[in-house]
Amino acid sequence: MRFLQFLHRARQEFEKKWNNKIETDVQWSDFDVKRTLGTGSFGRVMLARYKPTKSKKFYAIKVLDKKQIIKQKQVPHLLNEKKILECVQFPFLVRQSFAFKDNSYCYIGLEFVAGGEMFHHLQEAKKFDEPQTRFYASQVLLAFEYMHYMDLIYRDLKPENLLIDHKGYVKVTDFGFCKRVTGRAWTMCGTPAYLAPEIILSKGYSKAVDWWSYGVLCYEMAAGHPPFMAKKHMDMYEKIVQGDYQCPDHFSKELRDLVTNLLQVDVTRRFGALRRGVQDIKNHMFFAPVDYIATYQKKLKAPLVPEVKGEGDDGNFEKYDEDPLPMDKKCLYEEEFKDF
């Protein structure tokens, strides 16, 4: 009941932000750039310190190439991502601090989460034991409950999009495929191994696709690999639409039952999409040891606390080639990006 009251207040705050444009007065020259943290189709994420203040505040800044965004027809997705990041506020979601643009790029400044990607830690560990899987899964569960209450479908859950903070807690990042939907969505998007059957079959879909991907995540954290694996995407998709997978022998009956109820090809039988909604998952026997209030307040001891030596420590991120950022002399696509 307490969490439901929080969600109701959070929804009111979300709506206020959603209906107002938020301006920030910063520019690229205000930052001392340290290095690249990651790369993508439209640009890169860079670690940078804000120079005008005396504090050593670091940010992860998404530097998005206007030319690439136009070429791949992603302007609506970018504007949508910025809008959502401006409005969400939850312990297990990354926060946006500012956004701006110049002649060549659009910039989204996010809090720097120093522990690195869950993907990296999962690779090192090979697989997580069930208490560690439960610890992370409970946080993603609360994050999805919050997002769905705001009418947001995330659509891109995977270990690469989960960061671990300096206390060992999860932060969901990369809202490029996230969308506010009150009815159904139709866009084919997401990561192949995590796609729900209804997306692959080009059916209209709802928030239930997030609970499918959540089941895939729970499986992958505990097994060390996703449930549906094949060399070719079409073979993988065939397995997904048939629900063709096997749980490892070491899965407990509780975890096995949770995964079985989440990876339901028939949406009308999938946990999270039934009459009781998210409560079917929160009250599942796998999560019996979880104190959701203590989890939300980050009062529990994390099973893995990344080594972070101080503000701006980038040791938990891969190294990348540092190519220069070319800047055009005139403003590109001014009309197309006027709402950014």
Give me the CATH number covering residue 44: 3.30.200.20
Q: Is residue 169 a part of any domain in this protein? A: yes
Say whether both 143 and 251 belong to one domain: yes
User: Which of 39-43, 103-107, 219-223, 263-267 has the least mean pLDDT?
Assistant: 39-43
Say whether both 168 and 225 belong to one domain: yes
Q: Is residue 4 a part of any domain in this protein? A: no
Say whether both 50 and 135 belong to one domain: no
Say whether both 156 and 250 belong to one domain: yes
Q: How many domains does the chain have?
A: 2
Average pLDDT of the chain to the nearest whole number: 94
Whether 289 and 300 have beta carbons less than 8 Å apart is answered as no
Whether 43 and 81 have beta carbons less than 8 Å apart is answered as no
Q: Is residue 68 a part of any domain in this protein? A: yes
> How far, in Å, CA of 271 to CA of 261, rounded?
6
Q: Is residue 271 a part of any domain in this protein? A: yes
Q: Is residue 222 a part of any domain in this protein? A: yes
Say whether both 30 and 157 belong to one domain: no
Q: How many CB atoms lie within 10 A of CB 174?
A: 21
Say whether both 285 and 313 belong to one domain: no
- The residue from 25, 129, 156, 210 that is catalytic is 156
> How far, in Å, CA of 268 to CA of 145, rounded?
19
Say whether both 69 and 141 belong to one domain: no
Chain segment 104-135, per-residue pLDDT in tens? 999 999 999 999 999 999 999 999 999 999 99
> How far, in Å, CA of 138 to CA of 145, rounded?
11
User: Which of 281-285, 294-298, 308-312 has the least mean pLDDT?
Assistant: 308-312
Q: Is residue 209 a part of any domain in this protein? A: yes
156 pLDDT tier (thresholds 50, 70, 90): very high
> How far, in Å, CA of 112 to CA of 312, rounded?
8
Say whether both 178 and 78 belong to one domain: no
pLDDT at 1: 59
Say whether both 225 and 328 belong to one domain: no
244: tokens are 């063709």
For this structure, is 249 an active site residue?
A: no
Residues 6 or more apart whose Cβ sits within 8 Å of residue 77: 176, 177
Say whether both 93 and 187 belong to one domain: no
Phi, psi of 40 (to 5 degrees): -150, -170
pLDDT at 292: 96
218-231: average pLDDT? 97
Angstrom CA distances, 81 to 76, 130, 151, 325, stand at 9, 33, 14, 22
Q: How many residues are given for the chain?
A: 340
User: Which of 161-170, 270-279, 324-333 has the least mean pLDDT?
Assistant: 324-333
Question: In which domain, by residue range, is 329 found?
Answer: 14-114+308-335
pLDDT at 82: 95
Q: Is residue 199 a part of any domain in this protein? A: yes
* Model confidence, pTM: 0.95
Query: SS3 string of the chain?
Result: CHHHHHHHHHHHHHHHHHCCCCCCCCCHHHEEEEEEEEECCCEEEEEEEECCCCCCCEEEEEEEEHHHHHHCCCHHHHHHHHHHHHHCCCCCECCEEEEEECCCEEEEEEECCCCCEHHHHHHHHCCCCHHHHHHHHHHHHHHHHHHHHCCEECCCCCHHHEEECCCCCEEECCCCCCEECCCCECCCCCCHHHCCHHHHCCCCECCHHHHHHHHHHHHHHHHCCCCCCCCCHHHHHHHHHHCCCCCCCCCCHHHHHHHHHHCCCCHHHCCCCCCCCCHHHHCCHHHCCCCHHHHHCCCCCCCCCCCCCCCCCCCCCCCCCCCCCCCCCCCCCCCCCCCC
Say whether both 109 and 128 belong to one domain: no
Say whether both 281 and 161 belong to one domain: yes
Chain segment 240-257, per-residue pLDDT in tens? 999 999 999 999 999 999
Cα Rg of the chain, angstroms:
20
Q: Does the pLDDT value for residue 2 go beyond 80?
A: no
Q: Does the pLDDT value for residue 145 go beyond 90?
A: yes
Q: Is residue 2 a part of any domain in this protein? A: no
